[in-house]
Structure 1
Amino acid sequence: MTVLSLIAPIFGLILIGWVAALAGFLSEKVSDGLSEYVFAIAVPALIIATLTRPGLTGEVTWSYWFSYFGGAGLSWLVGSLIGLRREGVGRTGAILHGFAASQSNTIFIGVPMILQAYGDAGAFPLFMLLAVHLPLMMGCATFLIESDGQRSVLQRVKGLGLVLFRNPIFLSLMLGLVLRSFGLAPGGMVKSLVDALAGTASTCALIALGAGLVRYRVLHDLPGAMVVTSLKLVLHPLAVWVLAFHVFTMPPAYAGVATLFAAMPVGINSYLLAVRYKAETGLIAAAVMLSTLLAVATTVAWLAILGHR
């Protein structure tokens, strides 16, 4: 499969969503509703359908986790240190700089891209990484930001737990893993329904992302956004690639999934966290937009490095 055949459907659908929203064919309400459908229904159905699929096997070793999160930690650290050196950026803003530089857009781009690139061989490591990535990254960011607050550690952990157990992605991952561990899978009408919903996930996610990009303004803080984008699209995947392919040993598909996962643009969660804590919202919104646009080129490069030509 050529690189062009891999990226054209992905970024083509993002472009269609962006043009449709720009032309007024998709309103902001429709874009938000489509995003909510993807997050709450379509992607959870895809996760359950994939994890319960017969024949899906795999084993994730510690080297896989060290490779991905080692690269993420490096990018987060460098992003935070650079943020601290910027005038007017406080401690919370610096943490958010680092978080944006290491938080991948997994649901809207990562899942469809990696499944298309690696198929069944990449499905198991992809969803295992997704299961750990969400609570660990969000948990670390929330804990760091609130570590100098008045809430106790127990209160923070309890609050994070409540957030996770209201998250459809996290819940579907847990349900899929439980069903898989007992050898259970949806059948009959339930399977048909789950498969029908799962089949809409990629297309709807990419259209929703493209439509949502209209609201972001790249020129708000272009220099800072460019730094975060460079760390996310270059440093993060480069560090993971070195660790996965040249330091640790693992199946090639696992190493490729980890690298491509890291090569995804800045995740929407970083913007949502910036809004929650009222810090660096403009810069991170710009970084989401800029990294998504530049990912068209950088993804081609990383796919070529990973052997998809």
Structure 2
Amino acid sequence: MHIFSIIFPLIFIVLCGYIASRSGFLERTHIAGLSKFTFYISVPSFLFLNMAKADLQTSVSLNGFLSFYIPVILIYLFALIIDRHILSKHPQYERHSVFALGSSYSNTVLVGLPIIIAALGEQMMGIIFMIITFHSALLFTLTFLISANSASHVFSWSTFAKNMLLNPVVLSISTGLLVNLAGITLFADLTNGLALLAKPAIACALFVLGANLAFYKISDNWQAAAIASLLKLVILPALVLLLGTHVFALNESLLKVLVLLSASPLGVNAYLIACQIKQHQDTLASAVVLSTVLSVVSFSMWLTILL
């Protein structure tokens, strides 16, 4: 499939959401309602159904996990060092950890998943969902652990654990996995109902992404956001490609999935963590916008290399 044919429909939906929000056609309350339907009903239905019927034999790959998560951790640590010695220039580890999160956290559900489905189809859903399940937990926990060294009052571990366990993405994937492992066959009417709820998931996710981009802007601290975007969109997927090809010798299909997941732009959840820790909020808000816009170019580059 031509790269333009993969990218354009997705950009079109994001742009529609942005225009609807920016023009005032949809107010914040409308977007909040649509977001709630998307992230608490439609996307979880999609994830649950696909995880429940996924081929688990191809869903767990130690080499695949290592090819993805070793580069993620390396970029996280590298970004932390950059913020410590170049951007902030004095030790403030809760601040450094937020910048590191902004340079390594991928918008896997809203952007990575639609790109992979458009480019490669749905044959690798199992491994995608396994990566997604641990992605937020790993990076958010690492960020809060580093932050806690210098600001133990920042957050409550019990609240964090509760939020992670009740996260609709994690919960729907975990429930689907249990159904799959138990060999439970859902009766047809329930499956059909969930399938109807799941059908608009990808389109709604992209539309909501575009609508929410209208509320963020590129601040004066755009240089730091540009560095984070470069690490996220270019260096991280390059490391995944390097390790997956030359160290772990992954099969071609799995390698493509992992590179595209890692090449996803920064997710909005990273900005919410920045707001909670009260560090680098403007940087991460800018990085969300900048990396999402630049991902049009970077995804085109990675798709050209991979396909």
Please give the range of the TM-score, normalised by the shorter of the 2 chains. over 0.9
Aligned runs of 1:97-116 on 2, under 5 Å?
97-116=99-118
Letter in 2 for 1:213: L
Quick check: 298-307 or 20-29, which moved more?
Answer: 20-29
* Contact 1:114/1:122 (<8 A) preserved: no
TM-score by length of 1: 0.93
Letter in 2 for 1:276: Q
Letter in 2 for 1:219: S
- 1:60/1:257 CA distance change after superposition, 3 Å: same
Letter in 2 for 1:31: I
Letter in 1 for 2:126: F
* Contact 1:79/1:98 (<8 A) preserved: yes
Aligned runs of 1:202-213 on 2, under 5 Å?
202-213=202-213
Match of 1:138 among 137, 140, 147: 140
For residues 185 and 5 of structure 1, the distance between their equivalents in structure 2, rounded to whole angstroms, comes to 36
For residues 16 and 253 of structure 2, the distance between their equivalents in structure 1, rounded to whole angstroms, comes to 30
CA deviation map 1:93-142 (0-9, x unaligned):
11111111100011211111112222232212111111221222222222
For residues 206 and 301 of structure 1, the distance between their equivalents in structure 2, rounded to whole angstroms, comes to 20
Q: In structure 2, what is the equivalent of residue 10 of structure 1?
A: 10
* Contact 2:94/2:151 (<8 A) preserved: no
Q: In structure 1, what is the equivalent of residue 65 of structure 2?
A: 65
For residues 47 and 170 of structure 1, the distance between their equivalents in structure 2, rounded to whole angstroms, comes to 9
* Contact 1:46/1:201 (<8 A) preserved: yes
CA deviation map 1:167-221 (0-9, x unaligned):
1111111101000001224322211111011111111111101010111111331
What SS does structure 2 have at the residue aligned with 1:181?
Answer: helix
Aligned length, in residue pairs: 303
Uncovered stretches (5+) of structure 1, i.e. residues with no partner: none
Residue 48 of structure 1, CA deviation: 1.0
CA deviation map 1:263-291 (0-9, x unaligned):
00011111010011111111100000000
What SS does structure 2 have at the residue aligned with 1:216?
Answer: coil
Q: In structure 2, what is the equivalent of residue 86 of structure 1?
A: 87
For residues 127 and 225 of structure 1, the distance between their equivalents in structure 2, rounded to whole angstroms, comes to 28
Quick check: 67-76 or 283-292, which moved more?
Answer: 67-76
* Contact 2:59/2:130 (<8 A) preserved: no
Q: In structure 2, what is the equivalent of residue 298 of structure 1?
A: 298
Letter in 1 for 2:193: L
TM-score by length of 2: 0.93
User: Runs of 4 or more off by more than 4 Å in structure 1?
Assistant: 54-57
For residues 227 and 54 of structure 2, the distance between their equivalents in structure 1, rounded to whole angstroms, comes to 44
For residues 57 and 198 of structure 1, the distance between their equivalents in structure 2, rounded to whole angstroms, comes to 24
Letter in 1 for 2:60: V
Aligned runs of 1:1-309 on 2, under 5 Å?
1-53=1-53, 57-84=57-84, 85-87=86-88, 90-150=92-152, 156=157, 158-307=158-307
Letter in 2 for 1:137: L
Residue 29 of structure 1, CA deviation: 1.8
- 1:116/1:65 CA distance change after superposition, 3 Å: same
Residue 76 of structure 1, CA deviation: 0.9
For residues 122 and 12 of structure 1, the distance between their equivalents in structure 2, rounded to whole angstroms, comes to 25
Identity %: 29
For residues 187 and 116 of structure 1, the distance between their equivalents in structure 2, rounded to whole angstroms, comes to 29
What SS does structure 1 have at the residue aligned with 2:25?
Answer: coil
Letter in 2 for 1:270: A
CA deviation map 1:200-245 (0-9, x unaligned):
1111111101010111111331111111111100111111110112
Quick check: 234-243 or 182-191, which moved more?
Answer: 182-191
CA RMSD in angstroms, aligned pairs only = 1.8
* Contact 2:93/2:149 (<8 A) preserved: no
Residue 55 of structure 1, CA deviation: 5.7
* Contact 2:54/2:125 (<8 A) preserved: no
* Contact 1:134/1:170 (<8 A) preserved: no
Uncovered stretches (5+) of structure 2, i.e. residues with no partner: none
